[in-house]
Amino acid sequence: MSNSVERRLDLLESKVEHITPLYRRIPMALVIAVGIQTLGAVWWASDISSTVHSLKKENVSELSVKNYIAEREKAYLEMDNDRHLKISERVTRVEGTFQYIEKSLTRIEKKLMMLGDSTLKK
């Protein structure tokens, strides 16, 4: 009888050796990373909550927020339009410069052709 009990105990011990506890299977770095992310999410949520609470305290209406956003968008569009105007002015100047360079190149080519013709005639 003691022999069968010992065999059963050995069998149970071998089964237990194959089953490792959860803390041994999960790396500690992963546990720490998940913990830090959870703390960050809680902190972010509390910050959002306090912002909403302070806005409610200040009695900021939805209309005033929409007006503020509309004003910001208008300002950004004006800045963008100014930038585009400056770019178009630059392009116009560059086109004028290229036209001048093209005329100069044509004159130079004509003079070289005349020099080449006069050299061939001699």
Q: List the chain domain ranges.
A: 1-59, 61-122
Rg of the Cα atoms in the chain:
41
DSSP calls for 24-78: HHS-HHHHHHHHHHHHHHHHHHHHHHHHHHHHHHHT--HHHHHHHHHHHHHHHHH
- Whole-number Cα distances in Å, 59 to 5, 71, 72: 77, 20, 21
Mean model confidence pLDDT for the chain: 80
Residues in the chain: 122
The larger pLDDT score, comparing residue 81 to residue 102, is at 102
- For the question of whether the overall pTM of this predicted structure is more than 0.85, the answer is no
pLDDT score of 41: 92
pLDDT of residue 37: 94
Q: Which helix (H) or strand (E) element contains residue 19?
A: none
Helix/strand/coil for 18:
helix
Tell me which H or E stretch contains 1.
none
